[in-house]
Chain A
Amino acid sequence: MSMRYEGTVYVFGDDVNTDEIIPARYLTTTDPAVLASKCMEDARPGFGAQVKKGSILVAGANFGCGSSREHAPIAIKAAGISCVIAESFARIFFRNAINIGLPIVECPGVTKRLKEGDRVSVDLKEGLITPAEGAPLPITPFPPFMERIVQEGGWMPYLVKQYGRR
């Protein structure tokens, strides 16, 4: 799995919840393309239609708080966001992202260094975020157990490898 991402940054604030990421009125489908088109709808209306493929989403503290809907990281991934960087994440969103293989990194201080429209590169192997200007930002590395799940491409590939398909 590639661990290096480069793109333009979209910046969101603190406590962005999963109702804003994908409102429940769109949860009568599991189709990633439909979910992608409504991505971040109640945080920034129209985002799903404008977002450029390969972009990087930057957010403040407690990103993805609220409901357990996996539709939230699916919408972000299917919208073409290559990587999510936040000051911190809510726990269910964090595990969902790990489980579905959406690259996600915690980087305290990131919202002070990056602003909307900046170019940035993220290297998960090296553990560094490199902005266009200034010093690189270190990221909080995954614990080894999570690293293994990420390496396998998510929780289901990991389980199938460990236990077979039954």
Chain B
Amino acid sequence: MTLTEKILARAAGRDAVKPGEFLEIEPDLGLANDITAPLAIEEFEKTGAASVRYPERVFLVPDHFTPNKDIQSAQQVKVLRDFSRRHPGVRFFEQGEVGVEHALLPEIGAIAPGMVVIGADSHTCTYGALGAFSTGVGSTDLAGFYLTGRAWLRVPPTIHAVFSGTRHPWVTGKDMILALIGKISVSGATYRALEFSGSAVDSLSVEGRLSMANMAVEAGAKNGVFASDAKVAAYLKGRTSRPWEHVAPDTDAAYERVVEIDVSALPPVVAQPHLPEKVVPADSLPDVRIDQVVIGSCTNGRIEDLRLAAEILKGHKVASGVRCIVIPATPAVYRQALHEGLFDVFLDAGAIISPPTCGPCLGGHMGILAQGERCVSTTNRNFVGRMGHRESEIYLASPATAAASAVAGRVASPTEIVAQDRRQG
């Protein structure tokens, strides 16, 4: 069986499962945010139920509009807070401890290999980096989970994505997942699991793998998953109190399709408006002037991402007329970046530092685009109107490429900025 099939078989209490089968299972964890939880809570309460089946499995992370941007968003968060008070055991993250959900949950040790996680947020697929089966669902799925502890799933066929070769400097997990989406398209993995492996994946940090799994949904995938290894074990040490075992696919696993990418030939890339599949080398667009850069989100708001951006920004200024917004994804990332002196680098360069929030990624707040404006962003979607006006544009990139673009005032590859630095000694 593939990794996804093995995890789902165990969750279903079965020896084996096959693609296409429908399962009703009890997920280990279900999360929702300030946009999706209010609908889930409404649907749960419509049933007249008195109690939540497994309150300790319920995570409510009000991260999308935090800090509350207006009266309506504050009301929505209040729905979550009140629900958590009525149902002791439910985990609600108050402002001050809340961070971007898919950065926060791995960081606090809520996720371990072999778990089944559902989330009313499409980027729930992020946790596959830790060897969990983890998938985005809707609010009604969460309402049903609150009521019965159960969820329905169809076992997906698996596409095996094998990344070989050695990464060039400044080529990150973000570039690798964008390259895959560019190759198979935004619907290339619809209803499928993506299982990642290969030497170039092994060499990535857990954080780099989180960035990759995060964007599995941008290829239409149900989940994106990696076998757990020593790096995952080291990441979990001191973080999680959950008992867990390593997960790996069977050697005779049946894959629907194998896609191979040699990263030796991969430069830093960007995805052009308005789809994540429109992937080109970052240095192939020399004349795309920009107005804003966003460095953060569930894709690229972890400490390693901020370090990478700081490495490029150090000793440079953000180009005149460009706004560069840095968003540490969680309070712990924020503190760590402060402690390491990264904030000085960002502030010296003329960037702005935001509290942890999803904010601008979804056009919520903290950096909205005006008509005709262009942004290079480390987020995961560049759809029409995603970050603001429907006539604004988004280029998706790694933190290194986003930082380089902030310095250049146009879409630029980090190699260009680094080469300039070398010439100037």
A residues adjacent to B (C-beta < 8 A): 15, 17, 19-20, 23-25, 27-30, 42-43, 45, 61-62, 65-71, 74, 88, 90-92, 95-96, 99-100, 143, 145-146, 149, 154-156, 159-160, 162-163, 165-166
Q: List 15 A-B contacts (CB under 8 A).
A: A20-B383, A25-B363, A30-B38, A30-B42, A30-B76, A66-B122, A66-B383, A91-B190, A91-B222, A92-B122, A95-B137, A99-B144, A165-B48, A165-B49, A166-B51
Interface residues of B in 6-42 (CB under 8 A from A): 20, 22, 35-36, 38-39, 42
Does B187 interact with chain A (Cβ within 8 Å)? yes
Contact across chains for A62 and B186 when beta carbons are under 8 A apart: yes
Query: By CB atoms of chain B within 10 A, which of A66, A71, A162 has the most?
Result: A66
CB 8 Å contact bits of B319-354 with A (1 = contact, 0 = none): 000000000000000000000000000000000000
B39 neighbours in A (Cβ, 8 Å):
30, 70-71, 74
B147 CB contact (under 8 Å) in A24, A68, A90, A163 = A163
Least CB distance from B136 to A in Å reads 4
Measured between beta carbons, the chain B residues less than 8 angstroms from A166 are 49-51, 53, 147-148
Q: In the docked arrangement, what's the CA distance between A99 and B147, Å? A: 15
- Closest residue of chain B to A25 (Cβ to Cβ) is B363
Given contacts A91-B220, A155-B152, A156-B47, contact A42 B385 (CB under 8 A): yes
Which residue of the partner chain A has the closest CB to B52?
Answer: A166
Q: Is the CB of A28 within 8 A of B73?
A: yes
**Given the contacts A65-B186, A159-B150, A165 and B139 also touching, CB distance less than 8 Å:** no
Find chain B residues with CB under 8 A from A143 CB: 20, 22, 154
**CA gap between A57 and B27 in the complex, in Å:** 34
> In the bound complex, do residue B383 and residue A99 qualify as a contact, i.e. CB atoms below 8 Å apart?
no
When C-beta atoms are compared, the residue in chain B nearest to A73 turns out to be B138
Q: Find chain B residues with CB under 8 A from A91 CB.
A: 190-191, 220, 222
Is the C-beta of B314 less than 8 angstroms from some C-beta in chain A? no
Interface footprint category on B: 35 or more
| Closest A residue, CB atoms, query B44 | A156
Whether the Cβ atoms of B363 and A23 lie closer than 8 Å is yes
Evaluate whether A68 and B72 lie within 8 angstroms (CB atoms) in the complex, with A19-B381, A91-B191, A155-B141 already known: no
A90 and B22 form a contact (CB under 8 A): no
In whole angstroms, how far apart are the Cα atoms of A43 and B386 in the complex? 12
Distance of A66 Cα from B215 Cα, bound (Å): 10
Contact of B275 with A69 in the complex, beta carbons under 8 Å: no
**How far apart are the CA atoms of A143 and B383 in the complex, in Å?**
31
Nearest to B74 among chain A residues (CB) is: A28
Query: Which residue on chain B has the smallest CB distance to residue A144?
Result: B22
5 tightest CB-CB pairs across the interface, nearest first?
A: A28-B72, A96-B138, A145-B22, A99-B140, A62-B187
* With contact pairs A67-B122, A166-B51 given, residues A156 and B140 touching in the complex (Cβ less than 8 Å): yes
Contact A42 B390 (CB under 8 A): yes
Write out the residue numbers on chain B whose beta carbons fall within 8 Å of the beta carbon of A96.
Answer: 138-140
Given contacts A20-B384, A30-B38, A155-B152, contact A65 B141 (CB under 8 A): no
Q: With the chains together, A67 CA to B379 CA distance in Å?
A: 13
Residues on the A chain within 8 Å of B148, using CB: 159, 162-163, 166
Are B383 and A17 interface neighbours, CB within 8 A? Answer: yes
Q: Please state if B152 and A69 are interface contacts (CB–CB under 8 Å).
A: no
CA–CA, A155 to B154, complex, Å? 14
The reply to whether the CB of B178 lies closer than 8 angstroms to some CB of chain A is no
